[in-house]
Amino acid sequence: MSGGYQLAEDVSLAGRNTFRVPARAEMLADVTRAEALAELFEYAMLRNGPTLVLGEGSNLLLVGDVVPGVVVCMTGAAVTIVEDDGGHALVRAEAGLAWNDLVGWTLGRGLVGFENMALIPGTVGACPIQNIGAYGVEVGEFIETVEAFDRDAGRLRRIARSDCAFAYRDSLFKADLARWVITAVEFRLPRQRELRLDYAGVREELAAMGADSPRATQVAEAISRIRTRKLPNPALLGNAGSFFKNPVLPLAQAEALHAAHPGLPVFGASGATAKLSAAWLIEAAGWKGHREGDAGIAAQHALVLVNHGHATGRQLLDLARRVAGDVHVKFGVALEPEPRLVGATWDGA
């Protein structure tokens, strides 16, 4: 360990990605202190070569056998309340903290807002990149500041929420992944807020739990139960959660599809666009539970691409492309992956 980081060559990443594909890192840097990044990026191989910032590896697919350049892992996982006025608290969490640990930590201190995002895999550092969300809530609405190392400027910066360009599964950071290494995130969380229970299945799960007047902790428990039923456990079956985004279409096209297929769920039909259920489209095209060798689509949920054992990243990507191609032929809708592809592009090689 030197100055807050440790370097190692030719490191297996099989245990550092939830698809559990057998890729290796040409060089791996485990970083314990954000202040060490300026020194680390002075190395020629980092300054000039490709860099991949890796959290839990729960939102990416490693397509090649070797990840070239340097894989950087932020391992700091401290979380503190920076300020608290009684109504709201400002919580600072380092990038290496597991997201679900932060959800439990905040709920345990009477802070609400994250309950709908319980059991989302990944780290705090990844949450602003993807603007993670679930069950009608996105993390961007609670983020006050993102602390990140700016490779272009060679220094740590604090970026206000208004400058983060948050959108559906998108952000300033996602638009330029090579530039940013997120080191910490600060969240403004309330102690009281109207619970969001209207997403499919949430009220029913709460009723089954006997939670007539639910608290935020009970909402988190209900959503954890739903997710556990619907999504395969990556520890048992390699996956990265939902692999396909729900497509957003012009309203007229969405309405025409719904008229032709009345069972197709359509969300947020306000304004000029509407969001369709990718899971419904994939299942209707006959791919749910499909398997080719060790690459497959989960039997529990059509959105989830799975590794049954020894599938490579390339085999998983090839299957995902075939699924998307078939959905496009049958419904005229283009599907896009939610996880990041490392070593390939969705449309190219």
Pick the catalytic residue: 58, 171, 242, 277? Answer: 242
**Residue 349: inside a domain:** no
Q: Is 58 one of the annotated active-site residues of the chain?
A: no
Q: Is 270 one of the annotated active-site residues of the chain?
A: no
**Residue 212: inside a domain:** no
**Residue 196: inside a domain:** no
Q: Is 334 in the same domain as 254?
A: yes
The amino acid that residue 54 corresponds to is L
Taking only the tens place, the pLDDT of each residue in 240-295 is 989 999 999 999 999 999 999 999 999 876 689 999 999 999 999 999 999 999 99
Q: Is 128 in the same domain as 147?
A: yes
Q: Is 86 in the same domain as 16?
A: no
CATH code of the domain covering residue 242: 3.90.78.10
**Residue 203: inside a domain:** no
Q: Mean pLDDT, to the nearest integer, of 312-338?
A: 97
Residues of the domain holding 172: 79-190
Give, for 37, the enclosing helix (H) or strand (E): helix 37-40
- State the chain's mean pLDDT as an integer: 94
**Residue 221: inside a domain:** no
- What one-character DSSP code corresponds to residue 247? P
CATH code of the domain covering residue 104: 3.30.465.10
User: Which 3-state string (H, E, C) describes 67-115?
Assistant: EEEEEEEECCCCEEEEEECCCEEEEEEECCCEHHHHHHHHHCCCCCCCH
Q: Is 14 in the same domain as 59?
A: yes
Q: Is 326 in the same domain as 245?
A: yes
Edge-to-edge strand list for the sheet holding 248-250: 248-250, 273-276, 266-270
Write down which residue in 74, 98, 125 finishes a domain.
74
Q: Is 62 in the same domain as 90?
A: no
Indicate the range of 71-85, 264-278, 319-333 predicted with least confidence. 264-278
Pick the catalytic residue: 169, 186, 188, 277? Answer: 169
Task: Determine the distance from the C-alpha atom of residue 229 to the mean position of all C-alpha atoms in its chain, rounded to a whole number.
Answer: 19
**Residue 119: inside a domain:** yes
Q: β-strands 180-190, 143-150: how paired?
A: antiparallel
Q: Is 186 in the same domain as 83?
A: yes
CATH code of the domain covering residue 24: 3.30.43.10
Q: Does the model's pTM come out above 0.75? A: yes
Q: Is 64 in the same domain as 87?
A: no
**Residue 199: inside a domain:** no
Q: Is 335 in the same domain as 319?
A: yes
Q: Is 110 in the same domain as 56?
A: no
Q: Is 94 one of the annotated active-site residues of the chain?
A: no
Indicate if the pLDDT at residue 349 is higher than 70: no
